[in-house]
Structure 1
Amino acid sequence: MNILIADSGSTKCEWCLLYDGKKKKVDTQGISPYFLDAAGIGRVINQELVPALKKWEVDVVYYYGTGCKDPDNQKIVKKAIRGIFRSAKVNVTHDLMGAAVALCGHEKGVACILGTGSNSCYFDGKKIVKNSPGLGYVLGDEGSGAYLGKKVLQYYLYNTFDEELRYKFDAKYTTNSKEILAAVYKQPLPNRYLASFTLFLVENRGHYMVENIIEDGLNDFFFNHLCKYRESWKLPIHFVGGVAYGFRDVVKDLCSTYEFELGSILQKPMDGLIRFHQNQK
């Protein structure tokens, strides 16, 4: 049985075909049912995925994607996929379920996403039982790339950075307050713009101000979300996403501070999804 797995955000979608004990990975542009209708999604799949799959048949599709918690959006994506892979069984669900399955498999645990945005849930091995409310990058997204990047810009615009960090920031970005405010308040996708400044933290680890931003930002996620689950003190807590993986030393220290059991930390969900569905075959 050939299994096609998809892990999609709004900018990039990772696909993996499992066939004859082998793996074929393909990247396409992101698929969001908020921005593409069924016909548009079908065009992306036909143009960017199907040619790479060549002669292989697809028996089952497991699609985990942004925006697919909404039943109407699920129908849009399922219609598009069925239009391409007509003989395949198609399963569509949201990206948080993908993270939970990738991290926990069939076991109980708390699954966390720390990437451009942030999210978390208690997963009972079959379904998501609890989900701490996500308020988006304006009111929430604690611990995310957007949240940390916003802190970087605050430190810069408030002139909180010391001379060393301000010099490094100016040398790297050659921007100013007018451009920054325009990008945040007038340009599309400001959350991604904010998250791009997380790289400045990565490149300046060891400076006390940088460490404070990272530790405070991740601690806000632990305090506002993980502490709301009673299961956090009983079950392993797993993480996926570029922020969690890039700052895994801080994640590990915070788990120790809060007396949580740290589970796995993955950069991307796909490897965990592959393991899960290989065991399903």
Structure 2
Amino acid sequence: MAAFQLLADSGATKAEWCLVQGKKQKIFFTTGISPYLMNTEQMVKMLNKELKPAIKKETISAIHYYGTGCGNPENVKSIRKALKEVFPTAKKVDVDTDIMGAARAVCGSSKGIACILGTGSNACYFNGKRIAKSSPGLGYILGDEGSGAFMGRKVIQHFLYNTFEGDLMTKFEQKFKTDRLEILDKVYRQPLPNKYMASFALFLSENRGHYMIENIIEDSFNDFFFNHIYKFKESWLYPVNFVGGVAFAFKDVLKELCNSYGLQLGRIMKNPMEGLVEYHR
């Protein structure tokens, strides 16, 4: 029986898996693996329940896993152990960070800047083999400039401070049907406040053209450029690439900003899997 490679791109809430053999590939989705919230036993249980039945009896020879929390060696050890237990035929099991996955997806084996703009944000300079420089990710409370959570927080602020003009206030109220008490409870008391805040970023893509909406988008990306991309001198030497739903949704703004800053725009991908399949083939 022919052997397959298994590629994974995992966030805390959702994971995308791709079974690859030559030019053949199959995509699967499971619950995300957050090594800070799941132990090895829980990972094994989830994988056996959600992924193993989809893989069926295919022989997995190698696994390339990229995910959240993989900058921590203990987390890497836990994920690798779980994968080896579920797929004992895999002779090679590589576990790496989500930013490495993004870098390999958009840069391949070339030098470049790789940025993640999704629920959170991150950036690095990739020298074609490894991440040579990275910008510290401070999370949704202190950082995540340009991310869905960052933009969503701006939308919430504009609503709660009554900054939005009348037409936008009405649209917000009709769409979200929420109020100050519910928002504060979700942000300060309920789990996954970053995901909750990121859900409001959709309001921006649905109301393009209004100057207040465009200002929020542009200001958010400007903060990301200034705090992350500007920190690498290589940003003016190599292409600047982006991965993530937020980057893909507002790629026109990213293109304009790169032009105005004299940066060479590289690839913009909604998710890294397509690029990872190319890289590992």
TM-score, scaled relative to structure 2: 0.98
Is 1:46 aligned with 2:41?
no
Is 1:275 aligned with 2:278?
yes
Is 1:171 aligned with 2:171?
no
Tell me which amino acid in the other structure corresponds to 2:210: H
In structure 2, how many angstroms separate the alpha carbons of the residues matched to 1:151 and 1:91? Answer: 38
Cα offset, 1:205, TM superposition: 0.4
In structure 2, how many angstroms separate the alpha carbons of the residues matched to 1:257 and 1:224? Answer: 17
In structure 2, how many angstroms separate the alpha carbons of the residues matched to 1:179 and 1:53? Answer: 41
Is 1:21 aligned with 2:47?
no
Number of aligned residue pairs: 278
Cα offset, 1:20, TM superposition: 4.5
Partner of 1:235 in structure 2? Answer: 238
Runs of 4+ in 1 over 4 A off after TM superposition: none
Partner of 2:78 in structure 1? Answer: 76
In structure 2, how many angstroms separate the alpha carbons of the residues matched to 1:151 and 1:168? Answer: 16
Tell me which amino acid in the other structure corresponds to 2:203: F
Cα offset, 1:274, TM superposition: 0.6
Cα offset, 1:21, TM superposition: 2.6
1:109 to 105, 109, 112: 112
In structure 1, how many angstroms separate the alpha carbons of the residues matched to 2:265 and 2:22? Answer: 34
Q: Where do residues 1-281 of structure 1 align in structure 2 (5 Å cutoff)?
A: 1-88=3-90, 89-278=92-281
In structure 1, how many angstroms separate the alpha carbons of the residues matched to 2:138 and 2:8? Answer: 25
Gaps of 5+ in 1: none
Tell me which amino acid in the other structure corresponds to 1:38: T
In structure 1, how many angstroms separate the alpha carbons of the residues matched to 2:157 and 2:50? Answer: 40
SS across alignment from 1:215: helix
In structure 1, how many angstroms separate the alpha carbons of the residues matched to 2:48 and 2:21? Answer: 20
Judged with a 3 Å threshold, the aligned counterparts in structure 2 of structure 1 residues 263 and 58 are, in CA distance, closer, same or farther, namely same
In structure 1, how many angstroms separate the alpha carbons of the residues matched to 2:44 and 2:148? Answer: 30
Tell me which amino acid in the other structure corresponds to 2:34: S
In structure 2, how many angstroms separate the alpha carbons of the residues matched to 1:20 and 1:273? Answer: 14
Cα offset, 1:133, TM superposition: 1.1
Tell me which amino acid in the other structure corresponds to 2:29: D
In structure 2, how many angstroms separate the alpha carbons of the residues matched to 1:230 and 1:141? Answer: 21
Tell me which amino acid in the other structure corresponds to 2:250: F
In structure 1, how many angstroms separate the alpha carbons of the residues matched to 2:115 and 2:212? Answer: 26
Gaps of 5+ in 2: none
In structure 2, how many angstroms separate the alpha carbons of the residues matched to 1:277 and 1:203? Answer: 36
Cα offset, 1:70, TM superposition: 0.5
In structure 2, how many angstroms separate the alpha carbons of the residues matched to 1:40 and 1:183? Answer: 26
Q: CA RMSD in A?
A: 0.8
SS across alignment from 1:197: helix
TM-score, scaled relative to structure 1: 0.98
SS across alignment from 1:122: strand
Deviations 1:146-181 (A, max 9, x none): 000010011111111000000000111111111111
